[in-house]
């Protein structure tokens, strides 16, 4: 059999491998996802995919290892910068200057840097709830003030609550942290919503940090549009991007901050100075390969993930009529509202201890997890084989049952 890692492997064989994942091999001591909980637990929590890295990336890494591992082009790798500029242009960030591209050791450091550079202690920073938890850590840990507006459930999808957003702004608000596509609801903000968000940022004179890390995992036919695609907001926006979600390379750690205003990038760099560190040589090689050769692999992977998303939604509709969840438009993370179940109050423990399935608990996605906002919601990572996904859902059904009183 041709191994996934051989250079000549076809993309169809790639997704065939996804259908035959071996939990024993995945449960390697290297993997946080597979080792945090017990041996018999199916892990559907942290946002890694269970799939091997793209052959093009593996080949590039192997080739890179044949050369020395001295300092890479850490002042700004010219090839990677150009590839990032080209990629950004396809998402509406046309004419991005090379000085407006700065590499990061990961996207989360970019979130922290944006909060640090663009606000002062005591300033307000806007977020929309629920959201990926480092958004709130970056505000709370740096003694800024979370000003959160909850998204609203329209009955067909999660939407921005414009009144709540207006209500959350104060004269001390300096920055809006946007998650686009949105983790954990899987929304990709559409053209109308992006237009309103831009008007909102202009009206309140806000900086915007738009975390677009999941942009390449979109299931929609429409091309992904960056928040800063509109020239009106380019001077006030830092866009964060990276390869780790689409190419499953979080262990290599790299990202980039982008802005049409090179001075804004300089401001972020200066504010964090030597604390930021630099990306590794292997991560730079990996991202180059992903951008140059990873397209077909990514298309196959997204198609496979779309199938998993549909399997999940169909299973939920048929077997868990009391769970509310909308098909995600991007990401491999589904946001499930299980509040009507009698075990809503201890859903994570019940699923872990009885179903042996590990999920992310709702309160993690609120500013103060101790307050238990979003208790009864769970985030489920469906980037695994259909067999493992089905097994996890069957286990959940066995414990939660098909009906609630």
DSSP string, 128-164: EES--THHHHHHHTTT-EEEEEE-EE-SSSEE--HHH
As measured in angstroms, the least distance from the Cβ of 397 to ligand PLP is: 27
Tell me: does residue 297 bind ligand PLP (CB under 6 A).
no
DSSP string, 262-314: HHHHHHHHHHHGGGS----HHHHHHHHHHHHH-HHHHHHHHHHHHHHHHHHHH
Cβ closest to ligand PLP, residue 125 vs residue 400: 125
Judge contact between 147 and 177, C-beta under 8 A: no
- Could you give the CA distance from residue 202 to residue 199 in angstroms, rounded to a whole number? 5
- Could you give the CA distance from residue 385 to residue 16 in angstroms, rounded to a whole number? 10
Distances (CA, A) of 373 to 120, 150, 174, 206, 367: 27, 11, 25, 27, 9
Tell me: does residue 329 bind ligand PLP (CB under 6 A).
no
User: Among residues 85, 91, 138, 183, which is the contact residue for ligand PLP, using CB under 6 A?
Assistant: 183
Tell me: does residue 210 bind ligand PLP (CB under 6 A).
no
Buried b vs exposed e over 69-88: b needs ≥16 C-beta within 10 Å?
eeebeeeebeebbebbbebb
Cβ closest to ligand PLP, residue 100 vs residue 242: 242
Tell me: does residue 129 bind ligand PLP (CB under 6 A).
no
Tell me: does residue 132 bind ligand PLP (CB under 6 A).
yes
Cβ closest to ligand PLP, residue 9 vs residue 209: 209
Tell me: does residue 113 bind ligand PLP (CB under 6 A).
no
Cβ closest to ligand PLP, residue 176 vs residue 179: 179
As measured in angstroms, the least distance from the Cβ of 175 to ligand PLP is: 16
As measured in angstroms, the least distance from the Cβ of 181 to ligand PLP is: 8
User: Among residues 106, 186, 363, 367, which is the contact residue for ligand PLP, using CB under 6 A?
Assistant: 106
Residues 346 to 405: which contact ligand PLP by CB under 6 A?
Answer: none
- Could you give the CA distance from residue 249 to residue 106 in angstroms, rounded to a whole number? 11
As measured in angstroms, the least distance from the Cβ of 235 to ligand PLP is: 23
Q: Identify which range of 10-18, 70-78, 100-108, 393-401 contacts ligand PLP by CB under 6 A.
A: 100-108
Tell me: does residue 244 bind ligand PLP (CB under 6 A).
yes
Tell me: does residue 243 bind ligand PLP (CB under 6 A).
no
Cβ closest to ligand PLP, residue 9 vs residue 108: 108
Tell me: does residue 284 bind ligand PLP (CB under 6 A).
no
Distances (CA, A) of 51 to 41, 216, 309: 18, 16, 16
DSSP string, 36-59: SS-TTPEE--SS--SSPPPHHHHH
**Count of residues in contact with ligand PLP, rule CB under 6 A:** 13
Tell me: does residue 242 bind ligand PLP (CB under 6 A).
yes
By DSSP bridging, strand 255-258 and strand 207-211 are unpaired
Question: Both tokens of residue 212?
Answer: 């677009």
Integer-rounded Cα radius of gyration of the chain: 21
Q: Which residue is nearest to ligand PLP (CB)?
A: 106
Q: Which residues bind ligand PLP (CB under 6 A)?
A: 47, 106-108, 132, 179, 183, 211, 213, 242, 244, 250, 255
């Amino acid at each position: 059999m041709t191994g996934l890692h051989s250079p000549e492997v076809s993309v169809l064989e790639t997704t065939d491998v996804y259908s035959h994942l071996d939990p024993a091999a995945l449960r390697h001591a290297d993997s946080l996802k597979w080792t945090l909980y017990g041996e018999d637990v199916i892990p559907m929590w942290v946002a890694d995919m269970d799939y091997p890295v793209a052959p093009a990336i593996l080949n590039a890494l192997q080739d890179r290892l044949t050369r020395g591992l001295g300092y890479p082009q850490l002042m700004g790798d010219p090839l990677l910068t150009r590839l990032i500029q080209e990629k950004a242009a396809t998402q509406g960030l046309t004419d991005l200057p090379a000085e407006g591209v700065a590499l990061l050791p990961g996207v989360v450091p970019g979130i922290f840097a944006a909060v640090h550079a663009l606000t002062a202690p005591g300033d307000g920073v806007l977020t929309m709830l629920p959201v990926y938890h480092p958004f709130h850590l970056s505000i709370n840990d740096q003694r800024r003030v979370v000003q959160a507006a909850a998204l609203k459930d329209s009955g067909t999808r999660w939407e921005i609550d414009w009144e709540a957003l207006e209500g959350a702004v104060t004269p001390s608000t300096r920055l809006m942290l946007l998650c686009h596509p949105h983790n954990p609801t899987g929304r990709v903000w559409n053209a109308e919503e992006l237009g309103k968000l831009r008007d909102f940022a202009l009206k309140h004179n806000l900086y915007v940090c738009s975390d677009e890390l999941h942009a390449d995992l979109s299931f929609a036919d429409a091309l992904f549009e960056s928040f800063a695609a509109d020239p009106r907001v380019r001077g006030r926006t830092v866009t964060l991007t990276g390869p780790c979600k689409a190419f499953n390379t979080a262990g290599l750690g790299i990202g980039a901050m982008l802005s049409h205003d090179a001075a804004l990038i300089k401001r972020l760099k200066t504010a964090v100075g030597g604390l930021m560190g630099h990306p590794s040589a292997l991560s730079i090689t990996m991202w180059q390969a992903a951008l140059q050769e990873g397209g077909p692999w990514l298309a196959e992977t997204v198609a496979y993930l779309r199938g998993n998303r549909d399997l999940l939604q169909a299973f939920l509709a048929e077997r868990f009529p009391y769970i509310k969840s909308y098909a995600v438009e991007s990401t491999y993370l589904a946001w499930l509202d299980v509040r009507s179940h009698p075990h809503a109050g201890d859903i994570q423990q019940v699923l872990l201890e009885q179903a042996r399935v590990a999920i992310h608990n709702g309160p993690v996605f609120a500013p103060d997890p101790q307050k238990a906002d979003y208790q009864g919601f769970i985030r489920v990572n469906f980037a695994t084989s259909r067999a493992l996904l089905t097994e996890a859902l069957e286990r959940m059904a066995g414990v939660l049952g098909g009906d609630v009183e």
